Every structure is written in structure tokens, then in C-alpha cells.
Structure 1
Amino acid sequence: MEFRDLKLQYQKNKEALDEAILDVLTSGQYIGGKYVKDLEVQLAEYIGVKHCITCANGTDALSLVLMAWDIKEGDAVFVPDFTFFATGEVVSYNGATPVFVDVDERTFNLDPNKLLIAVERVKREGKLTPKVVIPVDLFGLPADYEAIGKVAKEHNLLVLEDGAQGFGGHINGQMACSFGNAATTSFFPAKPLGCYGDGGAIFTNNDQTADILRSLKTHGKGESKYDNVRIGVNSRLDAIQAAILQVKLKTFKEQELESVNRAFKLYNERLINVVETPYIPKGFYSSFAQYTIKLKSIDQRNALQKHLRLNDIPSMVYYNKPMHLQDAFKNLKYDDDDFVVTNNLCDTVLSLPMHPYLTENDIETVSNIIVNYLN
């Protein structure tokens, strides 16, 4: 059994994917051009925003937005403590200071109440200027943008949605990657919409921000390739990846998003009274980058993972170390007591196989092994 079966996904879509790749090879246009432009139009229409700017990867996408907003030394950027390293890494990379915030114990996403406490604390201390909050749509579930938006408005913060795992999710019909002042996503192969390499995208309704981003991602170019008006980077999505993503976006919309939610319901039916299963608030829809259960202790989690491995069932721990304890951030002084939820999650979460091509029999097999072991 595969944790996320990219090989089967390719076989199911082989003819269309092969044709798309060969079209690019035949065209000889490997950087930019029609394939990238067409994808950006399709992505913007799907998300419901004016601008989509593709780039080399999801980490660059976050960093480029911070660059476009001139986030720098002395600025505070608020980041969930329970997330992948890149969300905090880009803050330090741009010279600013990440301020980690604990998460909600049910959704695993940024806790708006704790965000408010963190912002007010930073203001009282007076060493940093609060500028941005980066909510993460963890495991496919959009963050609570209504509550986060209220805090952001009260304290004049820009909101940058990290939708690397959330593409395809929505809140009452509004798509993930359309919240805040700008949003980003990743097309890493294992993401809800993934290519066959690295890739990323930025979404915004702000014309000026979009223009700056298009310049920044191509060496700060101005009117032409050799007219450079600012210091930028080289971060472009390859044409082959753009062609692949057009094929996969069609399948994602027509089938895959519905299929992972079907798998979520099947898992829940079998596990809901055995372990703590994913919580989806009313009006929210997840794209299920991961199906993550919660056990009672680190010992129980580790023992179950070992038992699954012995039965050839893959599983993963996302994440086993909080952001505030990462060695790269050891210069930042944090009180471990401020991260009770994150510390507990790092010891108790376990992600099970999850992808659009899981069969009911697959889910039955995984669930029976868990139920029998824990009982």
C-alpha cells in the first residue's frame, strides 16, 4: 500500500499526461510561454481571484510575497507553531522575526485567540513591529480566516494565507488560496494538486502586488528582460510542469477532491469511536492533504505506527517537533508553556494513507488493523 499513490495516479491519467509532456517537448518552449500563462488563467478562475503568479516552489511563493510587502528586519510575522519549517523559514530569510503562536486543539490550525495575545505582547514589548500573520491551511483544512481577519484588522496586519496543503478546500464556498491579502500554494508532488517536480503559485486581487511579484520572480525585471528595476530572484515554473498541472487540475476538479472526501468519511465511520479523527467545522471543506488521527500518548502513537509498519501499512508523523524548538530558531526565546497544544500534537498525531485512489477495501484494511490493535 502507498501512503500517497502517485504511481497509480499517473497510470490512471497516463495518456493525457504523456500527450501534454510531448506537446511541450515538441514546442521547444520550456520556460514561460503559453503553457504557464494558460495554467495561471485556469488557476485564478478556479480560486476566484484576479491574479495567479506561478513560481518555482511553495517556499519561494511565501518569500516573494514578503519581499513584495517589504517585510524586513524589525518586523514581526506571526506563524503557527505546528506547521512545516518553511512557513517560519521564509520570515527569517527575509530578515524579519517569526513569532510562533499555538494552535487550536481540534483543527490544528492557528488559534485566533492566541494570535491576539501574541500580537498584544509584541506591541507591549516594543522591540518589533507587527506586520504580517501567516495562517496555514494544515492538512487541507482552511484556517479560521473570519476570526483571524478580525485580529488582523484591529492591529493593521497583512494576512498571507499559506495554502500549500489547502488547495481545493473552501469555507462556505469561498476557495482556499483566496483569503487574506495574498495566498500561496505548493505543487510539490504529494500536495493535493501536485506536479512532477517542484512548483508553486501566488494568488492575489491586488494589481500592484501582482506586478511587483511578476518582477521579483524574474530577477526584478522591468519593461524588458534586461531592464532590471529591483533586486529579485530566479523563480519560474517550468513549461512541462505547467502542462502536467493543467491535466491534473482537470482531474482534481472532476474526481480527486470528491474522492479524498469520500475516503475521509469512510475512515471516520470506522475509527471515530477508537481514535480522535479529523474535525471539520461547519461550513468548512478540506482537501485532505493528510488524514491525521490523534492518539492518547507518544507511546501509544509510536507503538501503533510500528504495528502498522509490521503490517506493511505506511504512516507518517506531521510534525514531531514544534517550530519554537527547531535549532534554527534557538536564538528566539520562547516559553514552552505557551505551546501546550502544539507540544501535545507533536507527541500524538499520526497520518494514515490518504489519496484519491484509495479503495474502500484499503481503508477497511487499515482501519481494522488499528481497531484490533487498540482494542
Structure 2
Amino acid sequence: MKVPLLDLKAQYRTIKDRILDVTHEIFESQYFILGPQVAALEKKIAGYCHVDHAVGVSSGTDALILSLMAAGIGPGDRVISTPYTFFATAGAIARVGATPVFVDIDPDSYNLSCDRLQEAVGAMTAHQLKTVKAIIPVHLYGQCADMDPILELAAAHGWVVIEDAAQAIGAEYKGRRAGSMGDYGCFSFFPSKNLGAFGDGGIVTASDPKVWEQLEIMRVHGASPKYYHRVVGGNFRLDALQAAIVAVKLEFLDGWTAGRQDNAARYRELFASAGLADRVGLPVERENRHIYNQFVIRVDTGRDDLKAYLGEQGIGTEVYYPVPLHLQACFSGLGHAAGDFPVSERAASQTLALPIYPELTGAQQAYVVEQIVAFFNR
């Protein structure tokens, strides 16, 4: 049996006619950049995320960069985030000339640890603390970070809060949607995301009208009106084609999310029945709406061997992420070494993502778990 990590073709078959209709409209209009399709999507995403405004951008990475630029973050500033996330989180900080300050993660949720955050802030000198201007909590794998302590600490120190919600559209923390709690919410429409485009795309959410205005200006090179530049921005525009496709898919998102949640529940039943509780750690649901962008298991030893074995049986898996950011060569100048963030390092060496997409069948899931049992019984 073949079980891919993600099957976008299966999803496309269910919405093909709708997609072809809207793309035909774009081709006929020849209106490809921004415009009414982007404005319509922005309104829909703002409503979905329970915020007042949204600004469509060219990618999830650019959503982070634009937010940092709009917040005035630059050289000499420090931005707190996690070393266990996709590279774009810290890469965006470096791109604007600021310095990433890493804080280790919670061992169960894989999100920023608020205990370690308090320790890190307490260990800073007065000068270091003064240069911290923002914090980027990451809602990893589809589950929100523990936001209340983060927001409280940010308010006490005057930090900007930028939610990296690239993997978490529709996730909730105490009834609040991802992207609605900080000053900025950054989302990705990369095709593999729960709400994916047919290429790159992203969006930034905000409730402050002044923040929204700044984002809109800065995504078009800082021009307002056209050709008149009060600030330097960038080319962060969202294509109308991608906006139209994402708008169609948004109508199906809650159903797809429910499918992912059902599949997560089925995995739990299958792993329990297989007696693997002492061999495989399953995702921990800390918050009330986990959307399962990924279903990540944990094995104490032999993760890479398990990945290779499952691949031989036709099962797609992925390691997110094999090298934590503090150990990436490009950040060697920060002076970190192995052992500095041990929880992130263990996660990098022990975790493995299994297929969780909504079209996944029960038979496919049973096969995945059967093969994991076979691996441990070898």
C-alpha cells in the first residue's frame, strides 16, 4: 500500500470545477496583482481569524519580514523566538538586521516554553533587555503557543508580538483564534499548508487600523499614493490568482480541519490498540482547537531507522526539523553550541511526522501503524 505524506491531488479532485471557474475569471479579467480578488480574500480571512483587518502578501516568509519592517524592527534590535521551527522565523529576523534571541521549547507541545522565557528574560542584562523589541511565538504543527504569559510579559516590557501562525490557521487558544492575539498574525498559503495556494502566498492579520495602514503601504514599496514614497517597503504583493484559489479553498477549510482531527483521533486509537504507548509518544493537545497541520510522533531512539523503514513500505514521512536553528551554520555568529537548547535538540533527533491529510483513509492509517509495529518487532 502507498501512503504519501500529503496527497494534494486527492484534495484537488474534490474542488477542481470551482478552481477552474475562478481561474478562468482571472484569465479573462487579466487582473493579476492585488485588486478585487485579493481584497475579497482579505475580508474573508479577517473574519475567519476574528480580526478587523488582513493584508495579502507574497509568502508566509514575507508576512514575517513585512511585519517586522512595519514594527520598525532593525539593526541593533533583538527579537525573541524559538530555535525549533521552520527557518523563516529566524531568517526573517536576520533579514531585517535584527538579532534572534532563542528560547527553548516545551517538551510536549514543541512551542515556546514560558518557563524558559521567564528564565531567559531574568538572565538578561539591563542593556540586553532594553534592546529586545519583539517576540515571535510560533504556533507549531497546528497548535497555539501558551499566549497569555507571553502577552503579559510583552506588555510589561513594551514588546511587539508577532504570531507566526503559518501552520495554524483556525487553531484556537482559550477561544481566541491564531493571529488575533498579537499585534501581527503571519500566515502561509504554501501548498502543503491546511489552507494552501497553488504557489507561494501569505497574509498578515491585525486589528489596529494604524498597523493595517502601515502594512498596506509597505507591501507596495512604501508608496502612498502610487509613486510617492514616505517609507521604504518592499514588493510583498499577493497575486490575484492565488487569492482566488485560496478563497475557494477557505470554504472547505473547517471540513478539512475536522478530517484531520478525526484522523488524529483514529491514530490514537490505533496506537493504543497496538500497545505502542511505551515506544511512541503521540502529540499532546494543550489547547482547545488543534488543527493538525502535522501529526508528529516521538521515538526515543531509532527515529531515522524508522523513517527509512516506513519509506521502504511506501509510507511517506518527514522530519520537522532535523537541525535546530541555533545549530545552523548561518547563525554560528550567535555563539551557540550543542546543548544550549536541549529540549529543541531532542525534538530534532526524535520526532517524525506521519500522514494526516483529511483524505487519508482508515485503512491507510491502519497500515501505517501496522508497519510501525513491524519495525519495533523486527
| TM-score, normalisation: structure 2 | 0.95
> Equivalences for 1:211-250 in 2 at 5 Å?
211-222=213-224, 224-250=225-251
Post-superposition Cα deviations, 1:104-126, rounded to whole Å, max 9, x if no partner, equal 00000000111122223333464
Deviation at 1:247, TM superposition (A): 0.7
Describe the shift of the 1:115–1:317 C-alpha distance in structure 2 as closer, same or farther (beyond 3 A). same
Cα distance in 1, alignment partners of residues 373 and 178 from structure 2: 33
Structure 1 distance, partners of 2:195, 2:217, is: 25
Give me the CA root mean square deviation. 1.3
Equivalent residue number for residue 288 of structure 2: 284
- More displaced 10-residue stretch of structure 1: 158-167 or 143-152: 143-152
CA drift at 1:155: 2.4
Q: Which residues of 2 match residues 136-175 of structure 1 at below 5 A? A: 136-175=138-177
Q: Deviations over 1:146-204 (max 9, x none)?
A: 12122222322221100000112112321111121111100000011100000010001
Equivalences, count: 370
Question: Distance in 1 between the 2:333 and 2:371 partners?
Answer: 43
| Amino acid aligned to 1:157 | W
SS at match of 1:110: coil
CA distance in 1, matches of 2:323, 2:127: 27
Unaligned runs of 5+ in 2: none
What SS class does the counterpart of residue 334 from structure 2 fall into? coil
Q: Which residue identity lines up with residue 266 of structure 1 in the other structure?
A: R
Measure the CA separation in 2 of the matches of 1:323 and 1:128: 24
Secondary structure at 1:184 match in 2:
strand
Residue from 299, 303, 306 that aligns with 2:305? 303
- Single out whichever of 150-159 and 25-34 deviates more from structure 2: 150-159
Residues 42, 54 of structure 2: 8 Å contact kept: yes
Is residue 2:10 matched to residue 1:5? Answer: no
| 1:58 and 2:63 matched | no
- Tell me the CA shift for residue 128 of structure 1: 6.1
Q: Report the Cα offset of residue 218 of structure 1.
A: 0.2
Q: Provide, for residues 246-305 of structure 1, a one-character-per-residue CA deviation record: whole Å limited to 9, x for no partner.
A: 11000112x101000001101111125241000001x421111111000012xx111111
SS at 2:97 equivalent: coil
* 2:371 partner amino acid: I
Could you tell me which residue of structure 2 aligns to residue 27 of structure 1?
Answer: 29
Letter in 1 for 2:148: E
Query: Hey, what's the Cα distance between the residues in 2 that align with 1:127 and 1:366?
Result: 48
The 2-side partners of 1:155 and 1:146 are apart by 14
Give matches, 1:38-117, under 5 Å: 38-117=40-119
CA distance in 1 between partners of 2:172 and 2:125 (Å): 32
CA distance, structure 2, for counterparts of residue 90 and residue 210 of structure 1: 19
Q: Paired residue for 2:326?
A: 324
Partner of 2:280: 275
Distance 2:64 2:165 in 1: 10
Structure 2 match to 1:350 = 352
Between the aligned residues of both structures, percent identity stands at 35
Whether the aligned pair in 1 keeps the contact of 2:327 and 2:337 (CA below 8 Å) is: no
What's the CA shift for 1:333? 1.4
1:177–1:183 contact (8 Å) kept in structure 2: yes
Which one is further off, 117-126 or 48-57? 117-126
From 294, 297, 318, give the equivalent of 1:293: 297
CA distance in 2, matches of 1:309, 1:13: 29
Deviation of the 1:372 alpha carbon? 2.6
Following TM superposition, by how much is the alpha carbon of 1:127 offset from its aligned partner in structure 2, in angstroms?
A: 8.1
Contact conserved, 2:66 with 2:236, CA < 8 A, in 1? no
Report the alpha carbon displacement of residue 79 of structure 1 after superposing the two structures with TM: 1.0
TM-score of the superposed pair, with normalisation by structure 1: 0.96
Aligned match of 1:256:
256
For residue 337 of structure 1, give the secondary structure of its aligned residue in structure 2: coil
Q: Distance in 1 between matches of 2:183 and 2:120?
A: 21
The separation in 2 between residues aligned to 1:83 and 1:178, in whole angstroms, is: 20
What is the SS of the residue equivalent to 1:39?
helix
Alignment check: 8 A CA contact 1:256 1:356 kept = yes
Alpha-carbon separation, structure 1, partners of 2:120 and 2:337: 12
Instruction: Give unpaired runs (5+ residues) of structure 1.
Output: none
| Counterpart among 174, 181, 184 of residue 182 in structure 1 | 184
Could you tell me how far apart the structure 1 residues matched to 2:23 and 2:262 are?
A: 30
Kindly provide the CA deviation profile for residues 284-342 of structure 1, in whole angstroms up to 9, marking residues without a partner as x.
Answer: 21111111000012xx1111111101101010000000110011111001254331101
Amino acid in the other structure paired with 1:100: F
1:13 counterpart SS class: helix
**In structure 2, what residue type is equivalent to 1:291?**
F
More deviation, 359-368/150-159:
150-159
SS in 1 for 2:373: helix
Q: Is the 8 A contact 2:78 2:98 kept in 1?
A: yes
